[in-house]
Amino acid sequence: MPMRRVFIAGASLLKVDEYWGDTIDSMVTEVVDGLGETRPWRIDSIYVANAVGEVLQGQANLGALVAENLGLAGVPSLRVEAGGASGAAALLTGYQAILSGLANTVLVVGVEKLSDATPEEAVMMPTLSERYDYVGFQGATEASIAAMMYRIYLEKFELPQEMVAQFPVIMHEHASKSPHAQYQFKTTLENVLSSPVVSPPLRRLETTSPADGAAAVLLCSSDTLSKLPHERAVELVGAASSTDFIFPFEREDPLRLTAAARAFNEALAKSGLSKEDIKILEIHDSYSIIASLILESIGYSAPGSSGVDAKNGAYDHGGKVVVNTFGGLKARGHPLGATGVYQAAEIFLQLTEKAGPCQVDGAKVGGMISLSGLGSSAYTLVMREV
């Protein structure tokens, strides 16, 4: 029996923003309506990605809730939670469902509303992905742990902070042309390095801020693709996931994101493609230092040299791979559980030449890496134009 193939027939996303008047329900219906003519007509399964709905909105059971909202009560539907990687986890689950032969059409919807949080709750939400009865009760935050990784990184490689702090500048540059980005303005290295300190050496402009967002992707098998109204599709040629110790300082090397490396290498191996084929890469830059550590852990830069490579343009238009073409977590925004679905939708836009001013010319293969916590789980998806 030939290997089944998995395609993305359509994608939709809302501008990452603060939607005070909207609910999870209204955001989901709006983003799925945005699928247009590929709007689901016959769905075998729905996967809803969301990280903290029961904490901030007091709402669990999002599978049934979303199915009902979409007029699809009756369709199997469940919520997938893997912290900040929930969206990518839902995509991987949908991919596996189609590969298994048990489903032909899968709707993946990511939704998150962080604007309901107080400032202290907004700090707590990402920290829920750490061990809360250990790290949380000491008052440590995810940002503070990232800051300590940042500190030992700068010390180990004897680098000035600007080597890492330039990543937000690149992200804002990309987001300045992105209509769905949360922050559509450019910034400078001076601005980043003079923004308020969150946890030294980490500065405000090296982190993300609370955001609401929803994105949807329609996955299907070859059979369904031929029957589904759509313009252009993208093939999902590889996907993989891995996990690691949750607290980075209990890993063999706190500066190596082993889960990201394993997920990336395995997804790439499944795709039959090589790293050089990937021309656009959406990475999980939840903190500037995490952008550096991802690029070094998956082998695009040698340890300690992602900053030099970035300075030389390796990760910008014209470089070896364009990273975060719509601004990434830093500037497109990071609506926690929805973020992975945004990454996939953005690669879909790139490979179908619908990326507008953010278009990377000649992009035929795109990859994404999504993390929960500070690399305790990692997901990679590789997509190719068809």
Partner 1 sequence: MHSIFRPPINWRHRRFRYRLVVWRCLNCGAVHHNATKICRRCRSNRLAEDQLPSRARLLTYTVVKNPPVAFERQAPYIVGVVEFEDGTRLLTGITDCEPEELKPGMELERVVRRLTEDGESGLIVYGYRFRPVLKKR
Q: Which residues bind partner 1 (CB under 8 A)?
A: 118-121, 123-124, 127, 131-141, 143-145, 147-148, 151-152, 196-200, 202, 245, 247, 249-250
- Tell the smallest beta-carbon distance from residue 77 to partner 1 (Å): 28
H helix and E strand count, the chain: 14, 12
- Tell the smallest beta-carbon distance from residue 207 to partner 1 (Å): 9
- Tell the smallest beta-carbon distance from residue 250 to partner 1 (Å): 6
Q: Which residue number, 29 or 243, has a Cβ lying nearer to partner 1?
A: 243
Q: Which residue number, 79 or 251, has a Cβ lying nearer to partner 1?
A: 251
Q: Which residue number, 105 or 207, has a Cβ lying nearer to partner 1?
A: 207
Q: Which residue number, 118 or 274, has a Cβ lying nearer to partner 1?
A: 118
Return d(Cα 290, Cα 165) in angstroms, integer.
11
Q: Which residue number, 37 or 250, has a Cβ lying nearer to partner 1?
A: 250
Q: Name the token pair of 236.
A: 């999902």
| Whole-number Cα distances in Å, 172 to 66, 177, 185, 244, 329 | 33, 9, 6, 30, 10
- Tell the smallest beta-carbon distance from residue 155 to partner 1 (Å): 8
| Residue appearing with tokens 């946890």 | 199
- Tell the smallest beta-carbon distance from residue 20 to partner 1 (Å): 21
Q: Which residue number, 196 or 318, has a Cβ lying nearer to partner 1?
A: 196
Q: DSSP string of 279-339?
A: -EEE---SBHHHHHHHHHHTTSS-TT-HHHHHHTTTTSTTSSSEE-TT-HHHHT---GGGH
Q: Which residue number, 198 or 259, has a Cβ lying nearer to partner 1?
A: 198
- Tell the smallest beta-carbon distance from residue 184 to partner 1 (Å): 24
Helix (H, G, I), strand (E, B) or coil at 234: strand
- Tell the smallest beta-carbon distance from residue 192 to partner 1 (Å): 16
- Tell the smallest beta-carbon distance from residue 160 to partner 1 (Å): 18
Q: Are 12 and 346 in contact (CB under 8 A)?
A: no
Query: Position 11: which residue type?
Result: A
Return d(Cα 239, Cα 380) in angstroms, integer.
6
Helix (H, G, I), strand (E, B) or coil at 198: strand
Return d(Cα 143, Cα 198) in angstroms, integer.
8
Q: Which residue number, 78 or 152, has a Cβ lying nearer to partner 1?
A: 152
Return d(Cα 342, Cα 357) in angstroms, integer.
17
Q: Where are the beta strands (DSSP E) in the chain?
A: 6-13, 45-49, 77-80, 105-113, 197-199, 202-203, 212-221, 234-243, 280-282, 322-323, 365-372, 377-385
